[in-house]
């Protein structure tokens, strides 16, 4: 395949008239707001980004290309900046992805997805190695040189040894998403803000070029993203759709293009010389009106078709926002379809109906159905809502509020903003639920945010007036975070809200019980605070097998970092595997993506915090494969984790961790820490000669047949340097974070129920360089059938001097552990109910904590019940009435138990099928009853009933 840069010959003659009669997005009012915001400190920052451009590091991601660099180029250069779509953007092979011909896979230390970055203005039609900085290909493609140098690529690839590298295909992909689109945004906005025609002219030329190259479903079908491959990805054959880039990224590229067109619209009939230039390039246009019509029909109308036929479809929020942007910008209610009415109907009532999405796609705590980063895409519905308001104002009769409702006008609309504040631990960390976060070299993080998201809080504040949303619009230093350049910025109202005490965002224990995360957050300063998160989520999208994964944070360190976002999609069984997480697995079996998370106890008293949650990783109907009878992971009816967080003083703490599991044949508790060597206790270690945990003859990342007869490639075949020992007494594994302050973590493993097998090894996905490795410890027990195994650990994260000197198992029934520390002996008794954890029934859970020093009892705390004879431990009552709008329940509670229902405590609301934990925000006695106001809505879902 030889691809040449050609001047366009005869394009189809024009038969369309532009629908639009003026800007509909960048109205005079919006431009005035933009010019006003540009005067603000944060606005100046955005202006600098528009002029200079942001760092260009990937296929997508930057908002702004450099408007200043664009206007310094010739018209011809700008015309060529968007590569022809005759160059495919998908490589025909997969084996040179994220490889450099010189540096090989070393470059993956920097990025697993691609070896390259680009700089299309200064180095057109070249990609740059991330590691060495050298440029490929070696020929000057733009000027017709197809052969020069050691690494030439004429568009058909460059053969090096027996591998073919596709520099220009990669370039063509990156140049669209991370240059054409960001430059269109910069040029259009620079024009609107300054009125300088140089920006407008270059922007129009770039947009016109894009219109001549944008694929379609008729005469440019072969230029679609997978056009050269019959419509499907040659490697991931389930992947389809896309236009210039893939179906997901095209959503926001199309949306940005629609706004840029609207912004540049006013210039298109002001420059006959530009029209002549474009005509000379082969465009069938005579006037500015022709140019507008050409862009509308060849980008926007085609994009609208792509939305309807699924070629453009992203995460929830992406495609709806793209559709609404097209609807507003086209402002077309004529006979050519799809028109604006079709787009609004698609966005509000299509497959992922915006009309109900916040209620149906968000939990009562505001958490979405995906991992946290992806859930933040729900804020794209802010744009959907705003665009709907703009469209409604223009066409009030077409779009009545009952059919096109206010998307955020419900309790979950507000909860969405709360969620990202509540999920942010110590202004720093986000629990690594599903595909989120990543394991990085050890570093002490500096607190930097009130919420995981920035700009959306502004909308949250405007809509709901919550002072804490105003707080989330500021940096920790008090400066304002950037708002949106072309949206109003109510600075006086924000400032007034910050004066209110409710704007303070406290550190405290909290449950995001709809989403499935428990957070224990203890301390008054984020830099010195310590926190724990327990993940019992059941997300649908971007799920990992992180059932009951435990994370721990202290002094700005992510102490038990999760592997996080997959390091390429090719070894998902590693990145998202249950055994890769700090949790327990049964029979090396990966769980299905089903619900099953539930919190059963969440309380704190006098410095003792406790959380107990369960999951249901191996439900009875789940076919776990294999040829054994019963099948692997059968009969797992108990799967429950209890974490007791013990405050020793303001600096020192430790965690007692208990995991109960039954069923199957083999129970493994996995532990990994930071990317530092795990230090092992002196045991009678037996090293395995070669191979992996899957077997001495099973190579790294090989497929094999496991002991249950399953053909698989899973966690065991990713673990090398295997050694084993028997553990009959408590022992300590530890990590040194190698920081000057002397941070360490000691993991005391306490065998319960006789000796356990302990296995150590080093894990690695093949996407990582060969010298990368993460140390793992597995504590393995043979199953006792229906009787649960108990994995008991004490985690001590300290600086300089260990808090925990030794641990001892005092008794197995009741389960009692003794922790000796400087000057005191703590005794912790934990409940171990044998009933299945799968149901929503009440469970006798709890902890009894006693601290003794010099014969004197320093502290005694009992939460819940640890043994039946200790009394009820719980107060309960039946719900007599409910007020859904007020989040209230009327409960019959015996007078003696009423004091237990105190503001700030959590109650569990349950029936035979469901269970939910709510925080009590108000208690009002009402005759024989007590009225409890709860913190969250009980609203589950909504939809049209016909």
Residues in the site for Zn ion, rule: CB under 5 A?
100, 102-103, 129, 131-132
The answer to whether the Cα torsion of 501, 502, 504, 509 is positive or negative is positive
For residue 157, the minimal CB distance to Zn ion (Å) is 17
- Taking the least distance from each CB to Zn ion, the nearer of 117 and 188 is 117
- Taking the least distance from each CB to Zn ion, the nearer of 127 and 129 is 129
Chain position carrying tokens 């028997």: 726
Q: Which residues pair with 720 in a beta bridge?
A: 762
CA distance 398 to 378: 26
For residue 174, the minimal CB distance to Zn ion (Å) is 16
- Taking the least distance from each CB to Zn ion, the nearer of 169 and 893 is 169
For residue 165, the minimal CB distance to Zn ion (Å) is 11
For residue 700, the minimal CB distance to Zn ion (Å) is 25
CA distance 51 to 632: 60
Chain position carrying tokens 């520099």: 167
Contact 584, 661 (CB under 8 A): yes
Q: Which residues pair with 491 in a beta bridge?
A: none
Q: Which strand (E) or helix (H) includes residue 253?
A: helix 249-264
- Taking the least distance from each CB to Zn ion, the nearer of 171 and 381 is 171
Output the CA–CA distances (angstroms, integers) from residue 492 to 37, 462, 495, 499, in the order listed.
Answer: 14, 12, 5, 11
- Taking the least distance from each CB to Zn ion, the nearer of 131 and 867 is 131
- Taking the least distance from each CB to Zn ion, the nearer of 129 and 917 is 129
Contact 486, 567 (CB under 8 A): no
- Taking the least distance from each CB to Zn ion, the nearer of 131 and 739 is 131
Q: What is the DSSP letter of 692?
A: B
- Taking the least distance from each CB to Zn ion, the nearer of 20 and 106 is 106
DSSP code per residue over 381-428: HHHHHHHHHHHHHH-TTTS-TTTS--TT-SHHHHHHHHHHHHT-BTTT
Output the CA–CA distances (angstroms, integers) from residue 208 to 284, 646, 701, in the order listed.
Answer: 11, 64, 49
Q: Nearest CA to 274 among 76, 83, 5, 82?
A: 76
For residue 234, the minimal CB distance to Zn ion (Å) is 25
For residue 134, the minimal CB distance to Zn ion (Å) is 6
For residue 112, the minimal CB distance to Zn ion (Å) is 15
**Other CB atoms within 10 Å distance of the CB of residue 227:** 19
The residue whose Cβ lies closest to Zn ion is 129
CA distance 821 to 648: 10
Q: Nearest CA to 183 among 307, 38, 81, 254?
A: 81
For residue 117, the minimal CB distance to Zn ion (Å) is 11
- Taking the least distance from each CB to Zn ion, the nearer of 161 and 230 is 161
Chain position carrying tokens 């495609």: 319
For residue 138, the minimal CB distance to Zn ion (Å) is 13
Q: What is the DSSP letter of 300?
A: I
Q: Residue 535, CB half-sphere, CA atoms under 13 Å: how many?
A: 28
What's phi and psi for 918, nearest 5 deg? -135, 150
928 SS3 class: coil
- Taking the least distance from each CB to Zn ion, the nearer of 151 and 249 is 151
CA distance 416 to 451: 11
Chain position carrying tokens 């992180």: 546
For residue 766, the minimal CB distance to Zn ion (Å) is 20
For residue 136, the minimal CB distance to Zn ion (Å) is 8
For residue 131, the minimal CB distance to Zn ion (Å) is 5
For residue 71, the minimal CB distance to Zn ion (Å) is 32
CA distance 688 to 376: 45
The angle at the Cα of 597, spanning 593 to 602, to the nearest 5 degrees, equals: 160
Q: Which residues contact 295 (CB under 8 A, 6 or more apart)?
A: 207, 208, 211, 261
Q: Is residue 457 exposed (0-12), middle (13-18) or buried (19+ Cβ within 10 Å)?
A: buried
CA distance 560 to 325: 43
Chain position carrying tokens 């309380």: 603
Contact 781, 667 (CB under 8 A): yes
- Taking the least distance from each CB to Zn ion, the nearer of 132 and 785 is 132
- Taking the least distance from each CB to Zn ion, the nearer of 100 and 752 is 100
For residue 88, the minimal CB distance to Zn ion (Å) is 23
- Taking the least distance from each CB to Zn ion, the nearer of 117 and 851 is 117
- Taking the least distance from each CB to Zn ion, the nearer of 8 and 110 is 110
For residue 176, the minimal CB distance to Zn ion (Å) is 23
- Taking the least distance from each CB to Zn ion, the nearer of 101 and 751 is 101
CA distance 245 to 168: 15
- Taking the least distance from each CB to Zn ion, the nearer of 100 and 917 is 100
CA distance 861 to 848: 6
- Taking the least distance from each CB to Zn ion, the nearer of 103 and 398 is 103
Q: What tokens does 653 get?
A: 């703490």
Q: What tokens does 270 get?
A: 């002001």
Instruction: Starting at the earlier edge strand, list the strands of the sheet with 653-661.
Output: 598-605, 608-614, 639-647, 653-661, 789-799, 743-751, 731-736, 678-679
For residue 103, the minimal CB distance to Zn ion (Å) is 3
For residue 440, the minimal CB distance to Zn ion (Å) is 22
For residue 788, the minimal CB distance to Zn ion (Å) is 53
Start-end of H helices in 473-582: 491-498, 572-575
Q: Nearest CA to 112 among 131, 93, 132, 127?
A: 131
Burial 98-112 (b: 16+ CB within 10 A, else e): bbbbbbebbbbeebb
- Taking the least distance from each CB to Zn ion, the nearer of 14 and 102 is 102
């Amino acid at each position: 395949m030889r691809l040449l840069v050609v001047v366009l010959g005869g394009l189809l003659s024009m038969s369309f008239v532009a629908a639009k009669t003026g800007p509909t997005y960048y109205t005079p009012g919006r431009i005035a707001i933009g010019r006003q915001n540009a005067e603000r400190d944060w606005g100046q920052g955005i202006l600098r980004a528009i002029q200079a451009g942001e760092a260009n590091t990937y296929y997508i991601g930057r908002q702004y290309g450099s408007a200043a660099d664009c206007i310094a180029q010739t018209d011809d250069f700008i015309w060529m900046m968007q590569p022809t779509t005759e160059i495919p953007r998908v490589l025909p092979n997969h084996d040179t992805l994220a490889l450099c011909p010189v540096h090989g896979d070393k470059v993956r230390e920097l990025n697993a997805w691609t070896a390259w970055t680009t700089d299309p203005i200064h180095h057109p039609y070249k990609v740059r190695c991330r590691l060495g900085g050298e440029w490929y290909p070696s020929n000057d493609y733009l000027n017709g040189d197809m052969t020069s140098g050691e690494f030439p690529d004429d568009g058909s690839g460059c053969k090096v040894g027996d591998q073919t590298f596709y520099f220009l295909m990669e370039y063509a992909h990156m140049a669209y998403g991370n240059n054409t689109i960001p430059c269109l945004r910069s040029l259009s906005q620079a024009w609107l803000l300054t009125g300088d025609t140089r920006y407008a002219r270059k922007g129009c030329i770039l947009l016109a070029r894009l219109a001549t190259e944008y694929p379609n479903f008729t005469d440019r079908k072969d230029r679609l993203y997978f056009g050269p491959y019959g419509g499907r990805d040659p490697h991931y054959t389930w992947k389809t759709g896309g236009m210039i880039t893939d179906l997901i990224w095209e959503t926001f590229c199309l949306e940005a293009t629609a706004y840029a067109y609207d912004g540049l619209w006013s210039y298109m009939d002001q420059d006959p010389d530009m029209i002549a230039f474009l005509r000379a390039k082969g465009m069938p246009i005579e006037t500015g009106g022709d140019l507008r019509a050409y862009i509308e029909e060849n980008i926007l109308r085609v994009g609208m078709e792509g939305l309807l036929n699924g070629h453009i479809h992203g995460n929830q929020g992406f495609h709806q926002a793209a559709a609404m942007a097209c609807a507003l910008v086209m402002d077309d209610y004529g006979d050519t379809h799809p028109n604006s009415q079709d787009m609004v109907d698609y966005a509000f009532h299509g497959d992922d109906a915006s009309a109900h999405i916040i209620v149906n796609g968000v939990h009562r705590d505001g958490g979405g159905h995906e991992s946290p980063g992806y859930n933040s895409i729900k804020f794209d519905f802010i744009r959907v809502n705003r665009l709907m308001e703009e469209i409604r104002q223009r066409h009030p009769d077409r779009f009545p509020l009952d059919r096109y409702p206010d998307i955020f006008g419900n309790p979950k609309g507000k909860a969405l903003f709360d969620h990202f504040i509540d999920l942010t631990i110590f202004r720093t960390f986000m629990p690594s639920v599903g595909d989120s976060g990543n394991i990085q070299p050890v570093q002490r993080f500096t607190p930097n945010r009130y919420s995981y998201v920035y700009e959306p809080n502004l909308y949250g504040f405007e809509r709901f007036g919550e002072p804490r949303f105003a707080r989330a619009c500021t940096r920790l230093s008090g400066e304002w975070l950037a708002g949106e350049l072309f949206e109003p910025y109510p600075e006086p109202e924000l400032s007034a809200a910050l004066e209110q005490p409710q704007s303070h965002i406290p550190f405290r224990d909290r449950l995001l019980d709809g989403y499935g995360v428990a957070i224990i957050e203890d301390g008054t300063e984020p830099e010195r605070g310590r926190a724990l998160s327990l993940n019992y989520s059941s997300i649908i999208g971007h799920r990992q097998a992180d059932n009951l994964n435990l994370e721990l944070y202290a002094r700005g360190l992510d102490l038990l970092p999760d592997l996080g976002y997959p390091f390429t999609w090719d070894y998902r069984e590693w990145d998202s595997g249950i055994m890769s997480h700090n949790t327990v697995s049964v029979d090396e079996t990966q769980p299905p993506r089903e619900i099953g998370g539930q919190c059963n106890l969440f309380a704190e008293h006098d410095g003792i915090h406790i959380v107990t949650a369960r999951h249901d990783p191996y439900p009875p109907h789940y076919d776990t494969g294999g040829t054994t009878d019963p099948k692997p992971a059968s009969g797992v009816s108990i799967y429950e984790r209890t974490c007791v967080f013990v405050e020793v003083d303001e600096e020192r703490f430790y965690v007692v961790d208990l995991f109960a599991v039954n069923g199957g044949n083999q129970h493994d508790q996995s532990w990994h820490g930071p990317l530092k060597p795990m230090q092992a206790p002196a045991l009678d270690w037996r090293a395995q000669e070669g191979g992996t945990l899957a077997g001495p003859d099973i190579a790294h990342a090989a497929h094999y047949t496991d002991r249950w007869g399953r053909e698989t490639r899973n966690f065991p075949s990713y673990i090398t340097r295997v050694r084993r020992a028997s553990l009959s007494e408590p022992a300590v594994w530890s990590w040194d974070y190698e920081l000057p302050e002397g941070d360490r973590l000691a993991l005391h493993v306490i065998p319960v129920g006789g000796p356990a097998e302990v296995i150590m090894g080093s894990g690695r996905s093949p996407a990582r360089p060969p010298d990368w490795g993460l140390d793992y410890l597995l504590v393995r027990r043979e199953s006792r059938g229906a009787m649960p195994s108990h994995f008991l650990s004490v985690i001590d994260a300290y600086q300089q001097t260990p808090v925990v000197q030794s641990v001892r198992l005092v008794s197995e029934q009741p389960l009692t552990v003794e922790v000796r520390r400087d000057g005191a002996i703590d005794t912790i008794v934990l409940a171990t109910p044998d009933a299945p954890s799968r149901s929503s029934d009440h469970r006798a859970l709890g902890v009894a904590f006693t601290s003794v020093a010099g014969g004197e009892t320093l502290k005694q705390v009992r939460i819940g019940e640890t043994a039946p004879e200790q009394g009820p431990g719980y107060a309960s009552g039946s719900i007599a009435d409910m007020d859904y709008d007020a989040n209230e329940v009327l409960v019959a509670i015996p007078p003696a138990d009423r004091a237990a229902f105190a503001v700030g405590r959590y109650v569990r609301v349950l029936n035979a099928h469901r269970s939910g934990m709510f925080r009590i925000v108000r208690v009002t006695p009402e005759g024989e009853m007590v009225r409890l106001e709860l913190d969250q809505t009980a609203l589950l879902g909504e939809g049209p009933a016909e």
